[in-house]
């Protein structure tokens, strides 16, 4: 649908922060870096900024390519670009790698300024709240007082929601996609299995594997394989692989079914490029996020001070972040008489659907985003 | 857009049933329109009465039209009830010409009365003489308010004004007002025979 309107070649930037950041856990980062990318042009009154919050394994590299040779563009390239649903002719789009990440922002793989060695196990546990606070610092540095919109899917949707709670005056629109106001026990249970796979890998070394020159590849691989099972629906897996064999039954434990081949490929690929300590922290951030906890579990009270207008989206076959969880957010907004629309998109792909260019899904985003008003001095 | 002059001006452009509904909705109140379609009624009420409006709609294309016009819309199936809405949280809950297509007819009316302080229900009157004539001549009625053939109609629970009056009585529902129209004009004489569209303003007793 939108192949000829890529943002083109992009480059990441790094913002350095010397002011200490106190984390929700009570720990503090005396200084930190955030790596980010921007697409489009910030208008004169800085009213057209859109922040994209990434999910578990996402990065700041949302759209475009670093060089013509790149095999794949950024992770949400189907959404972001000139004349795409999130139109960079209109908006100034920011992608940022979260704290604790492994793509350039301060995290376990980066150097601890106090020791000159990788942080490893010493890097503190970061939360959704901490991420949003650090993102706010980035906006300060960019001179952006208020976002036209904040957008995120899954864990990114939690950040979008948190933005409206923590900084009600700094967000005009929140697009919360395939997300939830907290994780269910079952959802947290998947995270625990993933973490156990990593932590019990003999090469994990309590999180300080860097100094041993190894990585807990096996653990990370299994964690990712498990994740991929939960991101797809039963139907989508059935349709994609069914019981298809690669060759024939060999009465072995080698790769025999197509599904196994897919999971192993995804696991290997991920284990080769992602950091296990980051994975542990991202899943913990998911587990801990529960903004209503401070309000006795009352989400309506939690959202009583939000000012943003909301678009909440879910996907019918998403069982990891089911539509029912999105409806909880919608209900709390309705209870507070906020401006909210909710779409339950019919999609077969499970949780992964939020990253796919489904026509109706993208039409909703395009339509909603095109209605967002941005200030003058910008051709639209 | 806030005074009566403009309201009158706007009304003229819209359907007669919209005008009656607008008369029943208070300025600046909170309104829930069930089966809101492309959001036309809500936009009318928002522009003329500055209501805080929300629509409920199942259909994807209609949902998109609502998003396009900036109408708050919640995608859900009315057959599942109104579980996402608190008791008495709206001044008015509207079900415009959708009742007859509902399977859980009884449930939705009771749910509306739970969520809304007042409820507006409109439906095509099956007792309208033209419908009766078509039945008498041996055919299922097809008309402006019932534009479907028997085999492709979404309507499963058609009723007459008498039937609905009885329904309200049986369910302890107070009829605050009833208006009946045919071809855009009010019908006062023998409404169950001469009225094509029935409009009710209801509340729980």
Structure tokens at A129: 């709240």
Is-catalytic flag, A287? no
The count of other CB atoms within 10 Å of the CB of residue A65 is: 18
Of A331, A341, A371, the CB nearest to B84: A331
pLDDT over 90 (residue A130): yes
Q: What is the pLDDT of residue A4?
A: 63
Q: What is the pLDDT of residue A376?
A: 67
Half-sphere exposure (Cβ direction) of A268: Cα atoms closer than 13 Å: 6
Is-catalytic flag, A360? no
Cα–Cα distance measured from residue B49 to residue B29, given in angstroms and rounded to the nearest whole number: 8
pLDDT over 70 (residue A242): yes
Q: How confident is the model at residue A260 (pLDDT cuts 50, 70, 90)?
A: very high
Structure tokens at B171: 């369910």
Cα–Cα distance measured from residue A77 to residue A359, given in angstroms and rounded to the nearest whole number: 15
Q: Which of A88, A330, A369 is nearest to B68 (CA)?
A: A369
Q: What is the pLDDT of residues A330-347, one digit of tens each?
A: 999 999 999 999 999 999
Candidates B75, B83, B85: best to mutate against A (most CBs of A within 10 A) is B75
- Is residue A39 helix, strand or coil? strand
**Residue A354 contacts residue A325 (beta carbons within 8 Å):** no
pLDDT over 70 (residue A117): yes
Cα–Cα distance measured from residue A269 to residue A265, given in angstroms and rounded to the nearest whole number: 6
Ranking A82-91, A343-352, B3-12 by mean pLDDT, the lowest is B3-12
Taking the whole predicted model, whether its pTM rises above 0.90 is answered as yes
Of A341, A360, A363, the CB nearest to B73: A341
Q: Which of B36, B47, B53 is nearest to B14 (CA)?
A: B47
The count of other CB atoms within 10 Å of the CB of residue A243 is: 8
Q: What is the pLDDT of residues A134-150, one digit of tens each?
A: 999 999 999 999 999 99
From chain A, pick out residues whose CB is under 8 angstroms from the CB of B32.
none
Pairing of strands B173-182, B197-204: antiparallel
Q: What is the pLDDT of residue B5?
A: 37
Tell me the residues of A at the B interface, defined by beta carbons under 8 Å apart: 311, 327, 330-331, 334-335, 337, 339-344, 346, 360, 363-364, 367-368, 371
- What is the residue-averaged pLDDT of chain A? 96
Q: What is the pLDDT of residue A375?
A: 85
- What is the residue-averaged pLDDT of chain B? 92
pLDDT over 90 (residue B10): no
The Cα of B54 is separated from the nearest Cα of chain A by a number of Å equal to: 8
Q: How confident is the model at residue B4 (pLDDT cuts 50, 70, 90)?
A: very low
Q: How confident is the model at residue B6 (pLDDT cuts 50, 70, 90)?
A: very low
From chain A, pick out residues whose CB is under 8 angstroms from the CB of B30.
337
Q: Which residue has the higher pLDDT, B13 or A124?
A: A124
Q: What is the pLDDT of residues A277-309, one digit of tens each?
A: 999 999 999 999 999 999 999 999 999 999 999
Q: What are phi and psi of A132, to 5 degrees?
A: -65, -40
- List A54, A351, A362, A378, catalytic entry: A351
Alpha-carbon dihedral of residues A299, B88, B60, A374, nearest 10 degrees?
-60
From chain B, pick out residues whose CB is under 8 angstroms from the CB of A343.
63, 67, 75
The count of other CB atoms within 10 Å of the CB of residue A241 is: 16
Q: What is the pLDDT of residue A5?
A: 82
**Residue A45 contacts residue A171 (beta carbons within 8 Å):** no
- Answer yes or no: do A337 and B66 touch at CB < 8 A: no
Structure tokens at A162: 């948190």
Q: What does the pLDDT average to over B146-170?
A: 96
Q: What is the pLDDT of residues A191-205, one digit of tens each?
A: 999 999 999 999 999
pLDDT over 60 (residue B14): no
Q: What does the pLDDT average to over B55-66?
A: 98
Return the DSSP state at A104. S
Q: For residue A158, what are the contacts with CB-CB under 8 A and spacing of at least 6?
A: A128, A152, A179, A180, A286, A289
CA A299 from chain centre, in angstroms, equals 22
- A154, A296, B167 from B74: Cα distances, Å: 20, 27, 28
Is-catalytic flag, A351? yes
Q: How confident is the model at residue B184 (pLDDT cuts 50, 70, 90)?
A: confident
**Residue A136 contacts residue A34 (beta carbons within 8 Å):** no
Tell me the residues of B at the A interface, defined by beta carbons under 8 Å apart: 30, 52, 54, 60, 63-64, 66-68, 70-76, 84-86, 89
ipTM for the predicted complex comes to 0.93
Q: What is the largest CA-CA distance in chain A?
A: 68
Beta carbon pairs, A and B, within 8 Å: 50
Q: Which of A280, A54, A236 is nearest to A154 (CA)?
A: A54
């Amino acid at each position: 649908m939108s192949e000829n309107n890529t943002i083109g070649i992009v480059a990441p930037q790094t913002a350095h922060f010397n002011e200490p950041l106190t984390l929700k856990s009570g720990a503090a980062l005396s200084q930190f870096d955030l790596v980010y990318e921007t697409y489009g042009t910030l208008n004169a009154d800085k009213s057209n900024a859109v922040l994209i919050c990434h999910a578990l394994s996402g990065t700041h590299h949302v759209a475009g390519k670093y060089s013509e040779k790149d095999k794949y563009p950024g992770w949400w390239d189907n959404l972001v670009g000139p004349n795409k649903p999130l139109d960079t002719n209109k908006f100034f789009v920011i992608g940022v790698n979260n704290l604790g990440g492994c793509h350039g922002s301060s995290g376990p793989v980066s150097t601890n300024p106090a020791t000159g060695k990788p942080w490893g196990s010493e890097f503190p546990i970061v939360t959704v709240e901490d991420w949003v606070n650090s993102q706010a610092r980035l906006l300060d540095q960019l001179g952006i007082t208020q976002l036209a919109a904040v957008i995120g899917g899954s864990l990114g949707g939690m950040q979008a929601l948190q933005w409206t709670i923590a900084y009600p005056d700094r967000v005009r629109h929140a697009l919360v996609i395939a997300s939830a106001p907290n994780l269910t026990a079952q959802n947290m249970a998947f995270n625990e299995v993933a973490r156990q796979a990593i932590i019990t890998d003999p090469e994990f070394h309590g999180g300080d594997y860097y100094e041993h020159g190894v990585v807990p590849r096996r653990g990370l691989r299994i964690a990712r394989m498990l994740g991929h099972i939960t991101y797809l629906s039963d139907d989508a897996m059935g349709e994609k692989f069914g019981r298809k064999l690669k060759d024939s039954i060999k009465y072995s434990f080698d790769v025999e079914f197509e599904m196994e081949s897919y999971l192993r490929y995804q696991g290997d690929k991920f284990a080769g490029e992602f950091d296990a300590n980051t994975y542990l922290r991202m899943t913990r951030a998911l587990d801990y996020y529960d903004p209503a906890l401070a309000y006795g579990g009352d989400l309506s009270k939690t959202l009583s001070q939000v000012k943003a207008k909301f678009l909440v989206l879910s996907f019918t076959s998403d069982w990891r972040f089911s539509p029912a969880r999105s409806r909880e957010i919608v209900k709390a907004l309705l209870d507070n008489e906020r401006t909210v629309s909710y779409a339950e998109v019919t999609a077969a792909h499970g949780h992964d659907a939020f990253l796919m260019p489904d026509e109706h899904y993208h039409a909703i985003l395009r339509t909603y985003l095109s209605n967002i008003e941005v200030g003058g001095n910008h051709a639209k | 857009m806030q005074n009566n002059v403009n309201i009158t001006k706007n009304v003229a452009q819209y359907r007669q049933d919209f005008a009656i509904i607008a008369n029943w909705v208070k300025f600046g109140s909170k309104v829930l329109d069930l089966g809101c379609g492309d959001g036309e009624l809500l936009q009318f009420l928002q522009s003329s009465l500055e209501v805080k409006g929300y629509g409920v709609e199942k259909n994807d294309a209609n949902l998109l039209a609502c998003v396009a016009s900036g109408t708050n819309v919640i995608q859900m199936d009315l057959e599942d009830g109104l579980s996402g809405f608190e008791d008495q949280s709206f001044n008015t809950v509207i079900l415009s010409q959708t009742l007859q297509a509902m399977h859980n007819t009884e449930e939705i009316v009771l749910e509306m009365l739970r969520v809304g302080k007042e409820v507006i229900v409109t439906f095509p009157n099956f007792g309208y003489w033209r419908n009766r004539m078509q039945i008498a001549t041996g055919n299922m009625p097809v008309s402006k308010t019932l534009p479907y053939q028997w085999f492709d109609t979404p309507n499963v629970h058609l009723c007459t004004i008498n039937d609905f009056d009885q329904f309200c009585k049986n369910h302890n529902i107070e009829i605050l007002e009833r208006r009946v129209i045919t071809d855009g004009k009010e019908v006062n004489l023998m409404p169950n025979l001469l009225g094509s569209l029935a409009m009710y303003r209801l509340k729980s007793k």
